[in-house]
């Protein structure tokens, strides 16, 4: 049996780490969202009429690095969310740890997919555009509305939506945790519904419609849940 003092120290550390992870998740989600919405779509269904960059997107060199800036805080946001999921799992009591572990594993998958996706854009696509190395680049580019970038983002944020459902089940019974649970569950349901509904309606012509919806739902959820969980961890730390 674990030493009670060791358990107390572990819980205290989880509360401190959880507070900072939750706070940073909410802040970085807000920053990422703010930068992203000021970056206009250059291709696809939401591009302004007459302004779309044609395939193979060589003209995108004019927007390097401006169109890629939002990925930097978004990467940090995903890392903060992974730490937050770890702290939620650590905080879970009894049988709820199982749900927390599943939620943490899904959060880790989401982070891995999104991190690889964004890192390729930042370290491969940007320099290739600047050097005019366009062979095979179009399929990887964020400007391709049905390319690898969009597909990986869809997968990453779909898995994040699923992680929300299990993290919700790991939360406790305090008022703030109940509100966070509902925020997670509603977000998860909306993400899955958007994926199924848009895939059925648009078929192979979905382009980045689901990606935009998933980002909007996911980032708003991280802003809301991060703020709420920061208060949860702060109160828990003061009660010990």
Give, in order, the Cα–Cα distances in Å from 152 to each of 116, 149, 184.
9, 5, 22
pTM above 0.85, yes or no: yes
In the prediction, which pLDDT does 12 show?
81
How far from 122 is each of 65, 76, 198, CA to CA, in Å?
9, 14, 29
pLDDT digits (tens, 9 = 90+) for 38-49: 999 999 999 999
Q: Which domain holds residue 59?
A: 4-239
The pLDDT assigned to 240 comes to: 56
State the average pLDDT over residues 33-58: 94
User: What is the band of 195 on the pLDDT scale with cuts at 50, 70, 90?
Assistant: very high
- Structure confidence by residue, pLDDT tens digits, 73-85: 999 999 999 999 9
Please give the average per-residue pLDDT across 26-38, as a whole number: 96
Say yes or no to pLDDT of 5 above 80: no
Q: CA–CA separation, 186 vs 197, rounded Å?
A: 16
Q: Which residue has the higher pLDDT, 169 or 236?
A: 169
- What does the alpha-carbon distance between residue 92 and residue 171 come to, in Å, rounded to a whole number? 6
Whether the Cβ atoms of residue 194 and residue 217 lie closer than 8 Å to each other: yes
The tokens of 222 are what?
Answer: 């991280």
Q: What is the pLDDT of residue 11?
A: 73
Per DSSP, the chain holds a count of helices (H) and strands (E) of 7, 0
Q: Residue 131 pLDDT more than 70?
A: yes
CA nearest to 74, candidates 111, 128, 124, 126: 111
Reported as a single tens digit per residue, the pLDDT across 135-145 is: 999 999 999 99
What does the CA dihedral 134, 135, 137, 138 come to, rounded to 10 degrees?
A: 90
- Write the pLDDT tens digit of every residue in 219-232: 999 999 999 999 99
What is the domain count for the chain? 1
């Amino acid at each position: 049996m674990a030493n009670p003092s060791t358990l107390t120290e572990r819980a205290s550390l989880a509360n401190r780490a959880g507070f900072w992870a939750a706070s940073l998740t909410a802040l970085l989600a807000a920053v990422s969202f703010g930068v992203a919405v000021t970056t206009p779509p250059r291709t696809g269904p939401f591009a302004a009429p007459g302004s779309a960059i044609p395939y193979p997107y060589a003209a995108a060199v004019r927007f390097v690095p401006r169109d890629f800036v939002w990925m930097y805080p978004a990467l940090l946001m995903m890392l903060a969310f992974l730490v937050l999921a770890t702290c939620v799992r650590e905080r879970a009591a009894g049988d709820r740890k199982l749900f927390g572990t599943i939620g943490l594993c899904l959060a880790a998958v989401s982070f891995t997919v999104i991190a690889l996706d964004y890192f390729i854009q930042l370290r491969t696509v940007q320099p290739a555009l600047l050097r005019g190395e366009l062979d095979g680049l179009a399929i990887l580019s964020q400007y391709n509305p049905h390319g690898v970038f969009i597909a990986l983002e869809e997968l990453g944020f779909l898995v994040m939506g699923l992680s929300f459902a299990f993290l919700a089940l790991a939360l406790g019974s305090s008022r703030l945790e109940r509100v966070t649970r509902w925020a997670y569950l509603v977000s998860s349901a909306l993400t899955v519904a958007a994926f199924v509904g848009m895939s059925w309606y648009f078929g192979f012509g979905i382009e980045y419609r689901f990606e935009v919806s998933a980002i909007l739902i996911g980032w708003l959820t991280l802003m809301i849940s991060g703020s709420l969980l920061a208060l949860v961890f702060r109160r828990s730390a003061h009660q010990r």
